[in-house]
Amino acid sequence: MSGQTTYIGMLGCGTVGQSVYQILNGNRDFFLRKMESDIRIKSICVRDLKKDRGIDAKLFTTDYKQVICDPEITIVVELMGDCPDALDAIRLALSRGNSVVTANKAIVARHALELFKLAEENNCELLFEASVAGGIPILRSIREGLAANHIQSLYGIINGTSNYILTKMTKENAEFDDVLSEAQKLGYAEADPASDIEGEDAAYKLSILAMLCHGKYIKVEDIFCKGISYIKPLDIKMAARFGYVIKLLGISKLQKDSFEARVHPTMIPTSNPLAHVHGAFNAIQYHADYAGEGMLYGLGAGGHPTASAVVSDLVELNRNIQSENEINLAPSGFLPKTLEVTKPSDILKLKTCYYIRFSVLDRPNVLAKITAILGKNKISIQNLYQHGEKEDEAIPLIVFTHLTLENDIRLALKEIDDMDFITQMTKIIRIEDD
């Protein structure tokens, strides 16, 4: 190893960027115990030069191209967030042979194939540990630690905001809207929470995880995605009564004749380790053919955990740059040319158990009509629970089904929801119980 310094350019300097700076600058001696060479941030592109970030102002510029085109800079850290220039910046850096570390899940999920190719052609690397589950070293673990395994399935609590909300709703028997407003006040949820609570954020992460697990590239749009805003305290209570907990899961399953990739609220047994992942914590559970069942748990967001992931990528890149080593690790663990561009199976083909919440008027014969339609559609009932009793008023009717085809559920609900005794659209929660 040469003992030289590796110079880094950083694009963006919000909480993550400031943490990255803190780690690298505050721990020089520590890193020199790990590598013979030093990593230094040479310049940082920011929008507002005057904002005080506790960092020497001489490092700042507003021109990202200037950072990338500095010939001394060999690694570009892209932390621009939703900025429209982020993708162009990554493209420019890779095309100039600069390795890139990014935390941008949307860009990785949408442009992985193009960017992997660009990195390969220009003999540099694209690393993105920070794009999924922040401080949890999950990408590295799947790509390298579990390299021997076919990953058969993966279940992830990969959105901290929605897990925080569901946990609060569970502990306090509170309504979704109330918990969301409180979370927004406390800074646990964004002013515009749609991406977190409607599952989009989780879908981006799931698409990246599925690529590393199965060597399959899927478009985020092709992932079935349902958020948590329709969940009621009653659903949580009914789940508990039957031994379940409700979590927003990203699920990826590879079976002989199907490949499932879906994000939705899910009932899992309380005996499942994921059931004990509370608050803003994330966790990813996997089933691998040799390693068996496993789970990684930790903080999925925030400046410090995300910076921990960014710097782990920097340490790896720095070692290889200083050794002038040939790049031999594919960014997804699978050689880019072997990545299969594919679509997950249609959600209508899903076969699982369902929780169904009907909202019905409490009239004679309602139960007979509903069960008849369910039966006609091959839906067999495991448990049925009628909540309360107020003649001719709306009450919830809860059904747990045996294994059922999603298509049959949809057909049955379409018919049932047209009935005059139905007061609200029927809701379902899928159950994972194996």
Residue ranges in contact with a copy of itself by CB under 8 A: 1, 19, 23, 27, 30, 33-36, 129, 134-137, 140-141, 144-150, 215, 273, 276-277, 288-299, 302, 304-305, 307-312, 315-316, 319-320, 322-326, 328-330, 333-335, 338
User: Toward a copy of itself, which CB reaches closer, 151 or 360?
Assistant: 151
Both tokens of 321, joined, read 């740059």
Question: Which has the closest alpha carbon to 49: 59, 41, 64?
Answer: 59
Q: In angstroms, what is the minimal distance from the CB of 148 to a copy of itself?
A: 3
Both tokens of 220, joined, read 């985020």
Is there a catalytic annotation at residue 205? yes
Look-up of token digits 């903080």: 299
> Which of 205, 216, 226, 253 does the annotation list as catalytic?
205
For 128, phi then psi, to 5°, come to -150, 35
Cα-only R_g, the chain: 24
DSSP, collapsed to helix, strand or coil, labels residue 9 as strand
Both tokens of 232, joined, read 């009621």
Q: In angstroms, what is the minimal distance from the CB of 109 to a copy of itself?
A: 21
User: Toward a copy of itself, which CB reaches closer, 68 or 307?
Assistant: 307
**Beta strands 60-61; 73-78: pairing state:** unpaired
User: Toward a copy of itself, which CB reaches closer, 152 or 229?
Assistant: 152
User: What is the rounded distance in angstroms from the CA atom of residue 347 to the CA atom of residue 204?
Assistant: 18
Q: In angstroms, what is the minimal distance from the CB of 268 to a copy of itself?
A: 13
User: Toward a copy of itself, which CB reaches closer, 77 or 220?
Assistant: 77
Q: In angstroms, what is the minimal distance from the CB of 125 to a copy of itself?
A: 13
Q: In angstroms, what is the minimal distance from the CB of 33 to a copy of itself?
A: 4
User: Toward a copy of itself, which CB reaches closer, 197 or 283?
Assistant: 283
Q: CB–CB of 273/283 below 8 Å?
A: yes
CA atoms within 13 A on the CB side of 252: 32
User: What is the rounded distance in angstroms from the CA atom of residue 211 to the CA atom of residue 217?
Assistant: 5
Residue 219 burial (CB count, 10 A): 14
Q: Under 8 Å CB-to-CB from 282, ≥6 apart: which residues?
A: 133, 134, 136, 156, 157, 158, 159, 160, 163, 297, 298, 299, 300, 301
Residues labelled as active-site residues: 205
